Structure 1
Amino acid sequence: MFLRRSALHIARQTPSRIPIATRTFASSVSRQEEKVQTPSQVITIKKFSEIKTEEDLLPPGAPPGAIATDLDQATGLERLEILGKMDGVDIFDMKPLDSSRKGTMKDPIMVKSFGDEHYIGCTGVPADTHHQLWMVVSRERPIERCSECGNVIKMEYVGPQEDPHAHDHGDHGDHHVYVEPKKMADFVRPEFR
């Protein structure tokens, strides 16, 4: 009790050495809000239907003094996805696969892909009847079957037919071609797959 009283007594007698702010922050904020955008600072954003080339996917950037949003700074596929969502178009078809039926060899579950290979997780038919098992389908091997439930998935390649990353090696030396390792499924006759 005595110690608490002496600390309060010393604190009251000690002069404050903390400088007091010369202006408040509210006045500087109100000055910031008084800025008026000139017509040269108005940014127009192209709509999804107006996108024709890769240059159309370059962002305009944020006006000076503003914090950039995703719409102001996203480029490439991310920008295409954002503009598509604004127009109600699902660019990457993110809805789940059809799990109302089991895919068969004659009528597989179709998966569209822009890439050379696609990873697909199967949780069984009906859904969630087994743990998630991952399958890989590719352009060379477009059909896979789940080892747990037998569901058949087929990849439909919808990307560009020519490879933009292909190199013409000609006689400049040997080019290593990747060969996919053998699996047990490679030894099964095609009519039983």
Structure 2
Amino acid sequence: MFASRAVSTIARRAPVRAFTKARPFTSSVSRYDSKLNVPGKIISYEEVKTEDDLLPPGSKPTTVPSDLEQATGLERLELLGKMQGIDVFDMRPLDASRKGTLENPIIVNGAGDEQYAGCTGYPADSHLVNWLTVSRDRPIERCGECGNVVKLNYVGPEEDPHAHDHGHGHGHPAYEEPKTFADYVKPEYWYR
């Protein structure tokens, strides 16, 4: 009761011109750099050569931009690839038709220093997801629940200054893996 009286009192006291003037819901500042983009030009996935090619053309004035007109960086690269049927980040599920072994592991592609793989067991969905971490230093990992073995297939650049650093750049100390029970197992039992 009190709220409805307060709203009607405020509405009577408000000036009429505040409600009659058309106001947009959104507003934006448009900026254009002629060196980076040609307005309205969307390049194909094959034409992307540098990071500058992943800057969008933007939308026409007074329109709301689409994802393709405003996406930048890796998101833009993924959109351009999807438009041509290319799965840039290889989002297919891992092979679940067999159980990975040390002699024939399930291959996990990765372009970074580390990659995560979710194991749901063999046959598929026989246990909850166990996340396995494979890296360039330790490319083989075994699921503790079902024994499934995955192996990293590194597909990134050979010389990546940020990956596989080992303390030789940027002043960071080398990463030392924490000790576990596996460190005290005899070397002849290792599966490396």
Structure 1 length-normalised TM: 0.72
CA distance, structure 2, for counterparts of residue 56 and residue 185 of structure 1? 47
Residue of structure 1 in register with 2:111 after alignment = 114
Structure 1, residues 101-138: CA drift from partner, whole Å, max 9, x if none? 00000100000001101111111011110111111111
Q: Is the 8 Å Cα contact of residues 112 and 154 (structure 2) preserved in structure 1?
A: yes
Structure 2 length-normalised TM: 0.72
Q: Which of 121, 139, 153 is matched with 1:142 structurally? A: 139
Q: Which of 86, 93, 96 is matched with 1:96 structurally? A: 93
Structure 1, residues 39-97: CA drift from partner, whole Å, max 9, x if none? xx961211112212222111111111111121111111110000000001000010100
CA distance, structure 2, for counterparts of residue 181 and residue 45 of structure 1? 48
Q: What is the aligned-residue identity percentage?
A: 55
Q: Which runs of 5+ in 2 are unaligned?
A: 1-13, 23-37
Q: Which amino acid in the other structure matches residue 59 of structure 1?
A: P
Deviation at 1:22, TM superposition (A): 10
Residue of structure 1 in register with 2:177 after alignment = 180
Describe the SS at the equivalent of 2:74. Answer: helix
Residue of structure 2 in register with 1:105 after alignment = 102
Q: Which runs of 5+ in 1 are unaligned?
A: 1-16, 26-40
Say how many residue pairs are matched.
162
Larger radius of gyration: 1
Q: Which amino acid in the other structure matches residue 91 of structure 2?
A: M
Residue of structure 1 in register with 2:25 after alignment = none
CA distance, structure 2, for counterparts of residue 116 and residue 191 of structure 1? 26
CA distance, structure 1, for counterparts of residue 188 and residue 96 of structure 2? 25
Deviation at 1:184, TM superposition (A): 2.8
Deviation at 1:21, TM superposition (A): 11
Residue of structure 2 in register with 1:49 after alignment = 46
Deviation at 1:185, TM superposition (A): 3.1
Moved more, 67-76 or 150-159: 67-76
Residue of structure 2 in register with 1:4 after alignment = none
Q: Which amino acid in the other structure matches residue 86 of structure 2?
A: V
